[in-house]
A and B are shown apart, each in its own frame.
Chain A
């Protein structure tokens, strides 16, 4: 069993690097913390970085999960290889670019690219927001899947990852006490489906709703509240068509939590009555 201890970053290709960085700082509220070899590093919490944009194909997307040490990393490589998954060990230069001490990469059965990293960098300086969005941390991603039952079995069979609730065929999964860290949404291709930042309170959700609306940013869903996690949310469109989410008040679960099955309909995504404009969330 591979023990994931954290979700660390997304590396995202973009057709317009300057535009993506401008959106991330002026709209999302991320802090630019560095530039190297054509990549721009940004963050919404005190860790080294959460998002890396680089000039390239927007379909080129990787997310980084952390394991506890080099022994765990070696064991993870063996576990994946034993399961017939191709594993590649990253070079020192690649590790430096990811700002970690070491990593391996693999793909899930859908073809999503994952870095398993060890000793990712902490940061001495705290997060300094570029606008008052109230972001507290990079918290979860939605991940596209071509076969949700197969992929849930992959993640829960090889990793310490289990579903805490399901909406239709979509499992909301976690490796720690946060209700979900990776949520799988069925579609016909791989990719990151949305990127979540937690904000402090409902006030931040609503302030950003009016802030983004005034600036003609496309709101894709919300303001709303998820009946699954209890989190209040706002989804909006960012660079290269990526969906970003602010949310607040996500449920904590423990070992006694029993996963619930919700039907695949609008009210399973929002208990307030807002309707999604996100293909993977359907729409009645």
Chain B
């Protein structure tokens, strides 16, 4: 069993690096903390960085998770190789670019790329927001998977992730007390389906709602409240059609928590009644249910 102890970063290719970084600063509210070799490091919390953008194919996406030690890294490398997955030990140079002391990269059964990092960098300086978005931290992602039931089994059996709730066949999974760190969504191809930043309170969600509207940023869903996690949310589109989410008030779960099954309906997605555009996300679930 591979024990994940942290949720660290996303590395995202982008077709227009300057425009994407401008959006990250002016709209999302992230701080640019470094430029190196054509990559721009940004963050929404006090850790070294959360999102690294680089000029490249927007489908080139990697998520960085943290393991506790080099021993755990060696064991993980062996375990994933034994499963027949594509596993590669990162070079020192690559580790430096990821701002960690070591890592292996692997592809999950859907083809999503992950870095398992050891000793990713903390930062001495605290996060200085580029606008008053109220961001607290980089918290979870939605992940596109080609077979949601197989994907859930993989993350459960290999990593010990727990399912907190289901909507259709999509599992919302976690490795710690936060209701979900991964939300698995059925899709024809792999990829990061959305990137979540926690904000402090409902005021921040609502202020950003009007902030986005005033600037013609396309809202994907919300403002709303997730029936599953209880979080208030706002989803909006960034460059390369990446969906970003602000949310606050996510539920904390413990070992006593019993996963619930929700049907694929608007009300399962939003307790307030917003009408999400779930076409890409939930059609797959409906198909799988038939």
Contact = CB atoms under 8 A, between A and B. Distances in A.
A180 interface: no
A272 B210 contact: yes
B130 interface: no
A251 to B, nearest CB: 15
B154 interface: no
A98 interface: no
Contact of B274 (A202, A210, A232): A210
Interface residues of B, number: 17
Contact of B273 (A214, A224, A271): A214
A211 B273 contact: yes
A221 to B, nearest CB: 12
A273 B211 contact: yes
Interface string A211-232: 1001000000001110000001
Contacts of B274: 210
B272 A203 contact: yes
A203 B271 contact: yes
Contacts, number: 41
B273 to A, nearest CB: 3
B153 interface: no
B110 interface: no
A175 to B, nearest CB: 29
A207 B206 contact: no
A206 B203 contact: no
A224 B203 CA distance: 9
B202 interface: yes
Contacts of A223: 206, 223
A90 B174 CA distance: 67
Contacts of B224: 206
A210 B225 CA distance: 12
A272 B225 contact: no
B214 interface: yes
Interface string B203-230: 1001101110010000000011100000
A148 B202 CA distance: 34
A225 B272 contact: no
Interface in B2-55: none
Nearest to B209: A272
B147 to A, nearest CB: 34
A206 B211 contact: no
B206 A272 contact: yes
Given A203-B225, A206-B223, A273-B214, A225 B206 contact: yes
Contacts of A206: 223-225, 272-273
A197 interface: no
Contacts of A214: 273
A264 B103 CA distance: 57
Given A203-B225, A206-B223, A225-B203, A273 B210 contact: yes
A281 interface: no
A274 interface: yes
Interface string A184-218: 00000000000000000011001101110010000
Nearest to A273: B210
17 contacts: A203-B271, A203-B272, A206-B272, A206-B273, A207-B273, A210-B272, A210-B274, A223-B206, A232-B202, A271-B207, A272-B206, A273-B206, A273-B207, A273-B210, A273-B211, A273-B214, A274-B210
Interface of A: 202-203, 206-207, 209-211, 214, 223-225, 232, 271-274
Given A210-B272, A223-B206, A271-B207, 18 more contacts: A203-B272, A206-B223, A206-B225, A206-B273, A207-B271, A207-B272, A207-B273, A210-B273, A210-B275, A211-B273, A223-B223, A225-B203, A272-B203, A272-B206, A272-B210, A273-B207, A273-B209, A274-B210
